[in-house]
Amino acid sequence: MRVLVTGGAGFIGSHTVLALAAAGHDPVIADNFSNSKPSVLPRIEELAGRPVTLHEVDLTDTAATDALFAAGGFDAVIHFAGFKAVGESVAKPALYYRNNIDSTLSVLDAMVKHGVSRFVFSSSATVYGEKAPVPYREDWEFLEATNPYGQTKVMIERILTDVAAVNEGWKVALLRYFNPVGAHASGRIGEDPNGIPNNLMPFVSQVAVGRRDRLTVFGDDYPTSDGTGERDYIHVVDLAAGHVAALDHLDAMATPARAFNLGTGTGTSVLQIVRAFEAASGRPIPYDVGPRRAGDLPTSYADATRAREELGWTAKLSIEDMCADSWRWQSNNPEGFPS
Protein backbone atom coordinates (compact mmCIF):
# COMPACT_ATOMS: atom_id res chain seq x y z
CA MET A 1 0.00 0.00 0.00
CA ARG A 2 1.01 3.60 -0.56
CA VAL A 3 0.72 5.00 2.98
CA LEU A 4 0.73 8.65 4.02
CA VAL A 5 2.53 8.92 7.36
CA THR A 6 1.68 12.27 8.94
CA GLY A 7 4.35 13.35 11.41
CA GLY A 8 6.56 10.72 9.80
CA ALA A 9 9.78 12.61 10.56
CA GLY A 10 9.16 12.36 14.31
CA PHE A 11 10.33 9.76 16.83
CA ILE A 12 7.63 7.11 16.37
CA GLY A 13 6.81 8.15 12.82
CA SER A 14 10.37 7.68 11.52
CA HIS A 15 10.61 4.17 12.98
CA THR A 16 7.20 3.31 11.52
CA VAL A 17 8.29 4.53 8.08
CA LEU A 18 11.19 2.08 8.26
CA ALA A 19 8.88 -0.76 9.37
CA LEU A 20 6.47 0.01 6.52
CA ALA A 21 9.26 -0.02 3.95
CA ALA A 22 10.62 -3.30 5.32
CA ALA A 23 7.13 -4.82 5.04
CA GLY A 24 6.89 -3.89 1.36
CA HIS A 25 4.66 -0.82 1.69
CA ASP A 26 5.40 2.57 0.12
CA PRO A 27 5.52 5.19 2.90
CA VAL A 28 5.20 8.91 2.13
CA ILE A 29 6.00 11.41 4.91
CA ALA A 30 4.07 14.62 5.61
CA ASP A 31 5.60 16.81 8.32
CA ASN A 32 5.98 20.50 9.15
CA PHE A 33 9.03 19.89 11.40
CA SER A 34 7.45 21.56 14.44
CA ASN A 35 8.90 18.76 16.58
CA SER A 36 11.38 17.09 14.22
CA LYS A 37 14.26 17.96 11.90
CA PRO A 38 14.69 17.52 8.13
CA SER A 39 18.06 15.86 8.73
CA VAL A 40 16.23 12.67 9.76
CA LEU A 41 15.23 11.98 6.12
CA PRO A 42 18.63 10.92 4.72
CA ARG A 43 19.07 8.62 7.71
CA ILE A 44 15.67 7.03 7.09
CA GLU A 45 16.60 6.52 3.44
CA GLU A 46 19.99 5.10 4.41
CA LEU A 47 18.38 2.54 6.71
CA ALA A 48 15.52 1.76 4.34
CA GLY A 49 17.90 1.37 1.40
CA ARG A 50 15.57 3.37 -0.84
CA PRO A 51 14.31 6.93 -1.40
CA VAL A 52 11.40 8.10 0.75
CA THR A 53 9.16 10.94 -0.41
CA LEU A 54 8.65 13.77 2.06
CA HIS A 55 6.21 16.68 1.78
CA GLU A 56 6.68 19.66 4.09
CA VAL A 57 3.11 20.64 4.87
CA ASP A 58 1.06 22.03 7.75
CA LEU A 59 -1.99 19.79 7.96
CA THR A 60 -4.09 22.51 9.56
CA ASP A 61 -3.91 24.16 6.11
CA THR A 62 -6.90 22.52 4.45
CA ALA A 63 -5.99 23.63 0.92
CA ALA A 64 -2.45 22.29 1.22
CA THR A 65 -3.74 19.04 2.69
CA ASP A 66 -6.25 18.63 -0.12
CA ALA A 67 -3.51 19.23 -2.70
CA LEU A 68 -1.35 16.60 -1.00
CA PHE A 69 -4.11 14.01 -1.32
CA ALA A 70 -5.04 15.07 -4.85
CA ALA A 71 -1.52 14.24 -6.01
CA GLY A 72 -0.78 11.38 -3.64
CA GLY A 73 -2.72 8.30 -4.71
CA PHE A 74 -2.75 7.07 -1.11
CA ASP A 75 -4.27 3.76 0.00
CA ALA A 76 -4.11 4.50 3.73
CA VAL A 77 -3.09 7.06 6.36
CA ILE A 78 -1.16 6.58 9.59
CA HIS A 79 -1.72 9.75 11.59
CA PHE A 80 0.97 10.76 14.10
CA ALA A 81 1.01 14.52 13.49
CA GLY A 82 0.09 16.58 16.56
CA PHE A 83 1.46 18.40 19.58
CA LYS A 84 2.24 16.01 22.45
CA ALA A 85 3.76 17.75 25.50
CA VAL A 86 1.43 17.26 28.46
CA GLY A 87 2.74 20.23 30.45
CA GLU A 88 2.53 22.59 27.50
CA SER A 89 -1.02 21.42 26.82
CA VAL A 90 -2.01 22.44 30.34
CA ALA A 91 -0.45 25.89 29.85
CA LYS A 92 -1.76 26.34 26.28
CA PRO A 93 -4.94 24.27 25.95
CA ALA A 94 -6.44 26.22 23.04
CA LEU A 95 -3.24 25.70 21.01
CA TYR A 96 -3.48 21.93 21.50
CA TYR A 97 -7.19 21.65 20.77
CA ARG A 98 -6.84 23.78 17.64
CA ASN A 99 -3.74 22.09 16.23
CA ASN A 100 -4.49 18.46 17.01
CA ILE A 101 -8.17 18.48 16.13
CA ASP A 102 -7.99 20.86 13.15
CA SER A 103 -5.20 18.85 11.52
CA THR A 104 -7.16 15.63 11.95
CA LEU A 105 -10.34 17.15 10.49
CA SER A 106 -8.33 18.49 7.56
CA VAL A 107 -6.94 15.02 6.85
CA LEU A 108 -10.38 13.40 7.19
CA ASP A 109 -11.97 15.88 4.78
CA ALA A 110 -9.27 15.14 2.21
CA MET A 111 -9.65 11.39 2.71
CA VAL A 112 -13.40 11.52 2.11
CA LYS A 113 -12.96 13.72 -0.96
CA HIS A 114 -10.25 11.55 -2.50
CA GLY A 115 -11.62 8.12 -1.61
CA VAL A 116 -9.10 7.01 1.03
CA SER A 117 -10.81 4.83 3.63
CA ARG A 118 -8.06 3.17 5.75
CA PHE A 119 -6.82 5.03 8.83
CA VAL A 120 -4.49 4.14 11.70
CA PHE A 121 -4.50 6.66 14.55
CA SER A 122 -1.74 7.37 17.02
CA SER A 123 -3.77 7.53 20.23
CA SER A 124 -2.53 7.16 23.78
CA ALA A 125 -3.09 5.40 27.09
CA THR A 126 -3.83 8.85 28.51
CA VAL A 127 -7.40 8.42 27.24
CA TYR A 128 -8.11 6.04 30.15
CA GLY A 129 -7.85 8.77 32.78
CA GLU A 130 -7.71 8.29 36.54
CA LYS A 131 -10.69 5.99 37.07
CA ALA A 132 -9.96 3.10 34.72
CA PRO A 133 -8.74 -0.04 36.52
CA VAL A 134 -5.21 -1.32 35.83
CA PRO A 135 -4.38 -3.11 33.59
CA TYR A 136 -6.18 -0.92 31.08
CA ARG A 137 -8.59 -2.68 28.74
CA GLU A 138 -10.02 -1.31 25.52
CA ASP A 139 -13.61 -2.01 26.58
CA TRP A 140 -13.41 0.65 29.32
CA GLU A 141 -16.01 3.13 28.09
CA PHE A 142 -15.58 6.18 30.30
CA LEU A 143 -12.66 7.88 28.61
CA GLU A 144 -11.66 11.08 30.40
CA ALA A 145 -8.05 12.21 30.16
CA THR A 146 -6.51 14.39 32.86
CA ASN A 147 -4.93 17.00 30.58
CA PRO A 148 -5.72 18.81 27.30
CA TYR A 149 -3.26 16.71 25.29
CA GLY A 150 -5.03 13.53 26.38
CA GLN A 151 -8.42 15.10 25.84
CA THR A 152 -7.52 15.79 22.20
CA LYS A 153 -6.88 12.06 21.84
CA VAL A 154 -10.26 11.25 23.40
CA MET A 155 -12.03 13.72 21.12
CA ILE A 156 -10.25 12.52 17.99
CA GLU A 157 -11.05 8.90 18.80
CA ARG A 158 -14.73 9.88 18.98
CA ILE A 159 -14.53 11.86 15.76
CA LEU A 160 -12.89 8.97 13.93
CA THR A 161 -15.41 6.46 15.25
CA ASP A 162 -18.30 8.64 14.08
CA VAL A 163 -16.76 9.33 10.66
CA ALA A 164 -16.04 5.62 10.09
CA ALA A 165 -19.61 4.71 11.05
CA VAL A 166 -21.21 6.86 8.33
CA ASN A 167 -18.71 6.38 5.48
CA GLU A 168 -19.18 3.00 3.86
CA GLY A 169 -16.08 0.84 3.73
CA TRP A 170 -14.08 2.88 6.23
CA LYS A 171 -11.82 1.06 8.67
CA VAL A 172 -10.05 2.84 11.54
CA ALA A 173 -7.61 1.38 14.08
CA LEU A 174 -7.20 3.42 17.27
CA LEU A 175 -3.80 2.51 18.72
CA ARG A 176 -3.54 3.37 22.40
CA TYR A 177 0.07 3.08 23.36
CA PHE A 178 1.86 3.58 26.56
CA ASN A 179 5.46 4.84 27.00
CA PRO A 180 7.50 4.56 23.78
CA VAL A 181 11.27 4.50 24.35
CA GLY A 182 14.38 3.05 22.75
CA ALA A 183 15.78 3.70 19.29
CA HIS A 184 16.71 1.91 16.09
CA ALA A 185 19.45 -0.64 16.75
CA SER A 186 21.76 1.17 14.30
CA GLY A 187 21.89 4.25 16.53
CA ARG A 188 21.10 6.38 13.48
CA ILE A 189 17.59 7.49 14.49
CA GLY A 190 16.05 7.97 17.92
CA GLU A 191 14.20 10.38 20.17
CA ASP A 192 15.32 14.01 19.90
CA PRO A 193 12.91 16.17 21.93
CA ASN A 194 12.90 19.94 21.70
CA GLY A 195 14.08 21.68 24.86
CA ILE A 196 13.86 19.93 28.22
CA PRO A 197 12.55 16.38 27.76
CA ASN A 198 9.05 15.74 29.08
CA ASN A 199 9.55 11.99 29.41
CA LEU A 200 11.80 9.87 31.59
CA MET A 201 14.01 7.98 29.12
CA PRO A 202 15.28 10.92 27.05
CA PHE A 203 15.96 12.84 30.27
CA VAL A 204 17.93 9.92 31.70
CA SER A 205 19.80 9.63 28.38
CA GLN A 206 20.75 13.29 28.46
CA VAL A 207 21.99 12.99 32.05
CA ALA A 208 24.12 10.00 31.04
CA VAL A 209 25.64 11.84 28.06
CA GLY A 210 26.33 14.98 30.13
CA ARG A 211 23.73 17.34 28.70
CA ARG A 212 21.88 17.54 32.03
CA ASP A 213 23.22 17.38 35.57
CA ARG A 214 20.65 15.32 37.45
CA LEU A 215 17.31 13.61 37.19
CA THR A 216 14.40 14.55 39.42
CA VAL A 217 12.28 11.59 40.50
CA PHE A 218 8.77 12.85 41.17
CA GLY A 219 7.73 11.00 44.32
CA ASP A 220 9.08 7.88 46.02
CA ASP A 221 6.09 7.14 48.26
CA TYR A 222 3.74 5.43 45.79
CA PRO A 223 2.32 1.97 46.60
CA THR A 224 4.75 0.28 44.18
CA SER A 225 7.73 -2.06 44.51
CA ASP A 226 10.19 0.76 45.29
CA GLY A 227 7.87 3.73 45.85
CA THR A 228 8.39 5.28 42.41
CA GLY A 229 5.80 5.37 39.66
CA GLU A 230 5.48 2.35 37.37
CA ARG A 231 4.78 2.65 33.65
CA ASP A 232 4.45 0.30 30.70
CA TYR A 233 7.54 1.07 28.58
CA ILE A 234 7.47 -0.22 25.02
CA HIS A 235 10.35 -0.26 22.54
CA VAL A 236 9.66 2.06 19.62
CA VAL A 237 10.63 -0.72 17.17
CA ASP A 238 7.94 -2.97 18.67
CA LEU A 239 5.53 -0.06 18.51
CA ALA A 240 6.30 0.54 14.84
CA ALA A 241 5.64 -3.13 14.12
CA GLY A 242 2.26 -2.72 15.84
CA HIS A 243 1.31 0.01 13.38
CA VAL A 244 2.16 -2.21 10.43
CA ALA A 245 0.17 -5.07 11.96
CA ALA A 246 -2.83 -2.76 12.46
CA LEU A 247 -2.58 -1.47 8.89
CA ASP A 248 -2.48 -4.99 7.49
CA HIS A 249 -5.47 -6.00 9.66
CA LEU A 250 -7.78 -3.10 8.74
CA ASP A 251 -9.66 -4.80 5.91
CA ALA A 252 -10.43 -7.80 8.13
CA MET A 253 -11.89 -5.75 10.99
CA ALA A 254 -15.48 -6.62 11.80
CA THR A 255 -16.34 -3.07 12.90
CA PRO A 256 -15.59 0.30 11.27
CA ALA A 257 -13.43 1.44 14.20
CA ARG A 258 -11.66 -0.53 16.91
CA ALA A 259 -9.19 0.32 19.68
CA PHE A 260 -6.05 -1.66 20.44
CA ASN A 261 -3.61 -1.29 23.34
CA LEU A 262 0.05 -1.49 22.32
CA GLY A 263 2.07 -2.22 25.43
CA THR A 264 4.03 -4.96 27.16
CA GLY A 265 1.52 -5.58 29.95
CA THR A 266 4.19 -4.98 32.60
CA GLY A 267 4.94 -1.95 34.76
CA THR A 268 8.54 -0.82 35.30
CA SER A 269 9.42 1.74 37.97
CA VAL A 270 11.40 4.94 37.55
CA LEU A 271 14.28 3.57 39.63
CA GLN A 272 14.30 0.31 37.70
CA ILE A 273 14.75 2.34 34.51
CA VAL A 274 17.56 4.32 36.15
CA ARG A 275 19.39 1.14 37.21
CA ALA A 276 18.92 -0.50 33.80
CA PHE A 277 20.25 2.62 32.05
CA GLU A 278 23.26 2.75 34.34
CA ALA A 279 24.01 -0.85 33.39
CA ALA A 280 23.56 -0.15 29.66
CA SER A 281 25.65 3.02 29.63
CA GLY A 282 28.24 2.21 32.26
CA ARG A 283 27.61 5.65 33.73
CA PRO A 284 25.94 6.78 36.97
CA ILE A 285 22.60 8.58 36.78
CA PRO A 286 22.52 11.02 39.71
CA TYR A 287 19.02 11.88 40.86
CA ASP A 288 17.08 13.76 43.51
CA VAL A 289 13.65 12.88 44.83
CA GLY A 290 11.08 15.63 44.47
CA PRO A 291 7.39 15.88 45.33
CA ARG A 292 4.78 14.01 43.32
CA ARG A 293 3.50 15.72 40.18
CA ALA A 294 -0.19 16.54 40.07
CA GLY A 295 -2.07 13.99 37.98
CA ASP A 296 0.59 11.27 38.08
CA LEU A 297 -0.77 7.80 38.82
CA PRO A 298 1.05 5.15 40.87
CA THR A 299 1.02 2.61 38.06
CA SER A 300 -0.12 2.32 34.45
CA TYR A 301 0.14 -0.67 32.15
CA ALA A 302 -1.76 -2.36 29.36
CA ASP A 303 -3.80 -5.46 28.89
CA ALA A 304 -2.51 -6.21 25.37
CA THR A 305 -4.61 -9.35 24.82
CA ARG A 306 -6.71 -7.86 22.01
CA ALA A 307 -3.66 -6.83 19.99
CA ARG A 308 -2.17 -10.28 20.39
CA GLU A 309 -5.34 -12.13 19.44
CA GLU A 310 -6.59 -9.88 16.62
CA LEU A 311 -3.45 -8.24 15.20
CA GLY A 312 -1.07 -11.11 15.89
CA TRP A 313 1.24 -8.59 17.55
CA THR A 314 3.19 -8.77 20.81
CA ALA A 315 6.04 -6.70 22.19
CA LYS A 316 9.31 -8.61 21.98
CA LEU A 317 12.07 -6.28 23.22
CA SER A 318 13.08 -5.94 26.88
CA ILE A 319 13.82 -3.01 29.18
CA GLU A 320 17.50 -3.86 28.73
CA ASP A 321 17.08 -3.58 24.94
CA MET A 322 15.28 -0.25 25.34
CA CYS A 323 18.06 1.21 27.48
CA ALA A 324 20.90 -0.18 25.34
CA ASP A 325 19.37 1.17 22.12
CA SER A 326 18.55 4.54 23.72
CA TRP A 327 22.14 4.84 24.90
CA ARG A 328 23.56 3.85 21.50
CA TRP A 329 21.48 6.60 19.88
CA GLN A 330 22.28 9.25 22.51
CA SER A 331 26.00 8.48 22.79
CA ASN A 332 26.39 8.55 19.00
CA ASN A 333 24.28 11.72 18.72
CA PRO A 334 24.80 13.67 21.96
CA GLU A 335 23.08 16.77 20.58
CA GLY A 336 20.41 14.84 18.63
CA PHE A 337 19.88 15.28 14.90
CA PRO A 338 21.84 18.04 13.17
CA SER A 339 19.82 21.23 12.84
Report whether 17 contacts 27 (CB < 8 A).
yes
Q: What is the mean pLDDT of the chain?
A: 96
pLDDT tens per residue across span 70-109: 999 999 999 999 999 888 999 999 999 999 999 999 999 9
Identity of the residue numbered 138 = E
Give every strand in the sheet of 268-269, ordered side by side. 268-269, 230-231, 299-300
Say if residue 231's pLDDT is above 90.
yes
Q: Are 170 and 164 in contact (CB under 8 A)?
A: yes
Instruction: Provide the residue ranges of all domains of the chain, joining segments of one domain with +.
Output: 2-179+234-262
**Active site positions, annotated:** 149
Region 227-254 average pLDDT: 98
Helices marked H in 194-285 — which ranges?
Answer: 200-209, 236-249, 270-281
Q: Does the structure show a pLDDT above 90 at 293?
A: no
Please, which pLDDT band fits residue 194 given cuts at 50, 70 and 90? confident
pLDDT at position 196 over 90: no
Q: Is the pTM of this model over 0.75?
A: yes
Residue 295: predicted pLDDT: 75
Task: State the CATH architecture for 2-179+234-262.
Answer: 3-Layer(aba) Sandwich (3.40)
Return d(Cα 101, Cα 215) in angstroms, integer.
33
Question: Which pLDDT band, with edges at 50, 70 and 90, does 61 fall under?
Answer: very high
In the structure, what pLDDT confidence band is assigned to residue 297 with cuts at 50, 70 and 90?
Answer: confident
In three-state secondary structure terms, 226 is coil
pLDDT at 296: 83
Residue 121 banded pLDDT, cuts 50, 70, 90:
very high
CB 147 within 8 A of CB 130: no
pLDDT bucket at 69, cuts 50 / 70 / 90: very high
Question: Residues, the chain, total?
Answer: 339
Quote the crossing angle between the two packed helices 319-332 and 270-281, to the nearest 10°: 60
Percent of the chain with pLDDT over 90: 94
Burial of 141 (0-12, 13-18, 19+ CB in 10 A): exposed
* Displacement of CA 7 from its chain's centroid (Å): 10
Dihedral through CA 330, CA 190, CA 147, CA 311, nearest 10? -140
206, amino acid identity: Q
Which pairing describes strands 230-231 and 171-177: parallel, antiparallel, or unpaired? unpaired
